[in-house]
Structure 1
């Protein structure tokens, strides 16, 4: 459901020598590193699976260098993730344990998280039959519904200031910042001029006033971020990578599990969601979903500016995002 290559490189990923990793681990959790393996599935932060000299296995996530140019919404992402893990766990969503969050590290700069290592299998690496995948989508729908039971006091990204007192105000700030970034990083041409994109999204945004409470939204639930326990009947072990979470409309969490396609009423994801919380896909809801699709597809296009993906790896994703964005804009 996500066509991104798990090996795609990004210049936002840091490269640390073994001794630097070991010293960081010691500052964070009091143990040095006996073995380290870089995990390649991420696209912004550098991630390693570490074996510590006290026998523990942990995952270290390290933000890009503070001086590196990023998209506006990407600033301080790990701070949102640090907040989201315990909130998700409190709602009954299976997540890794957050062992340590360090902000503005005095040696390397930037932020880091240390998480318990998972022994499961990422969903995008599991060979499962249709029935097993359907059962997992049903289970995932329930977890997304539980995730959305967490409510907050402000809309948007409070860790970097892209917020609003209403969901419409926050959304327009979020997408407006992204369109400003498109002007700063014109690496990937957009299907329409930025001014026209603003006008289309602002013109359609009135429907966002249907949302009257800020809900926690993960907004990155693709199969690579869902770990499975395959020891018996496949089940979800944990949902990871909460760094792109924001406070807004819980409907937005239906976008990444159905990336580049429409939501079908017979999708087990919806049945699983509705088993936990009511969900009606009204005409207004479908219009809101298109606004969130537009936001995600714009992210996938604009982020190439600061990240500078290798062209051969990025081209399939860029083309899908471009085609899908054009369809959404036409509907809006």
Structure 2
């Protein structure tokens, strides 16, 4: 989707950046349009290598508070995921504060698989893949850290409740900053509601790595034989928090069902119990995701005809979640 946050760059600047990063100029370049925030390019280099280049937004462009320096968290998440045995693209180079670009970039190997949302699969294959995905997410969530939240931009806390309230508070501050952001209740009421429900977060006592953006478009499949997961991509929204939050994006706009193969695959690797307290935490994480989907249009300014269906679904889903938390 087109977005104002996607950096525009000339062919010469793109080639120069590739040379600084990898020592080779660009022979061919194609922009990949599927992402929502960062500009992503598929490059063929003069030395024959095929790579993917991801560019941060321009440094002078206003962004949501949690989006500052996202590529730094993504770089760290790629390393942690690989160490945990989770399939990811190979990160070739991470450049931070590039003196010419004036921002950050990542260079990764090209995946030759098919995005899950573009694959035609029968029900049995879908179920097998969800089981496999559950295991990968459990391994990713097994990685633990030292602080809750987003350490790359300072939205952190000594407890998960403190970090969550800082994260949601910053997002609501952004909603105020971008006047006209559609929300189902006044910002002050939303703050009070989330804070009042946040006691359930005290059940979380260790920071775990959470991808928090595992929708079908961010999962690449190998379809050469029996379908399998080739890689999980786009770790830029990752944070340190509650592993339970990982269930939100693979089931976006829906509830968690006990017979979902995703849960069975997850539980084959690490325990996961959906207690009443867990369901309350899940609603807090749903609220956070739906708020992101509503507030992020402030800086990104998506094309209305493309964004409207997503905005409407996020709004209706947020209303349901808030009603449950309020009740």
TM-score class normalised by the smaller sequence: over 0.9
- Does the aligned pair in 2 maintain the 1:187–1:302 contact within 8 Å? no
Is 1:254 matched with 2:254? Answer: no
Q: Residue 153 of structure 1 aligns with which residue?
A: 146
1:116 aligns to 2:109 (yes or no): yes
Q: Which residue matches 1:61?
A: 54
Provide the residue aligned with 1:85 in structure 2: 78
How far apart are the structure 1 equivalents of 2:182 and 2:247?
27
Counterpart for residue 211 of structure 1: 204
Cα drift, residue 269 of structure 1: 0.3
Q: Distance in 2 between matches of 1:186 and 1:205?
A: 26
Q: Are positions 1:308 and 2:301 aligned together?
A: yes
Unpaired runs of 5+ residues, structure 1, are 1-7
Q: Aligned pair 1:127/2:117, yes or no?
A: no
Matched, 1:22 2:25: no
Distance in 2 (alpha carbons) for counterparts of 1:186 and 1:247: 30
For 1:13 and 1:222, the matched residues in 2 are separated by: 20
Tell me what 2:160 maps to. 167
Could you tell me the TM-score, scaled by structure 1's length?
0.97
* CA distance, structure 2, for counterparts of residue 189 and residue 103 of structure 1: 34
Specify the alignment match of 1:94 in structure 2.
Answer: 87
**Alignment match, 1:44:** 37
Residue aligning to 2:169? 176
Q: 2:132 aligned with 1:139, yes or no?
A: yes
Instruction: State the alpha-carbon separation in 1 of the partners of residues 67 and 298 from structure 2.
Output: 13
Aligned with 1:190 (options 162, 183, 196):
183
CA RMSD of aligned residues (A): 0.5
Q: Matched residue of 2:43: which SS?
A: strand
Distance (whole Å) between structure 2 residues aligned to residue 185 and residue 30 of structure 1:
41
- How far has the Cα of 1:188 moved from its partner? 2.6
Q: State whether structure 2 residue 301 is matched by structure 1 residue 288.
A: no
Q: Which secondary structure state, in structure 2, belongs to the residue aligned with residue 50 of structure 1?
A: strand
- Does residue 234 of structure 1 match 2:227? yes
Q: Which residue of 2 aligns with 1:11?
A: 4
CA distance in 1, matches of 2:199, 2:293: 24
- Is the 1:187–1:304 Cα contact (8 Å) retained in structure 2? no
Q: Which runs of 5+ in 2 are unaligned?
A: none
Aligned-partner SS, 2:144: coil
Per-residue deviation, 1:186: 2.3
Q: What secondary structure does 1:103 align onto?
A: strand
Does residue 33 (structure 1) correspond to residue 61 (structure 2)? The answer is no
Query: Secondary structure at 2:48's aligned position in 1?
Result: coil
C-alpha separation in 2, matches of 1:134 and 1:285: 24
Counterpart in the other structure of 1:5: none
In structure 2, C-alpha distance between the alignment counterparts of 1:180 and 1:229, rounded to whole Å: 42
> For the residues of structure 2 that align with 1:71 and 1:37, how far apart are their CA atoms?
27
Measured against aligned partners, the alpha-carbon deviations of 1:198-244 in whole angstroms (never above 9, x if no partner) come to 01000000000000000000000000000000000000000000011
Deviation at 1:187, TM superposition (A): 3.2
Which residue of structure 2 aligns with residue 3 of structure 1? none
The question of 1:324 aligning with 2:317 is answered yes
TM-score (norm 2): 0.99
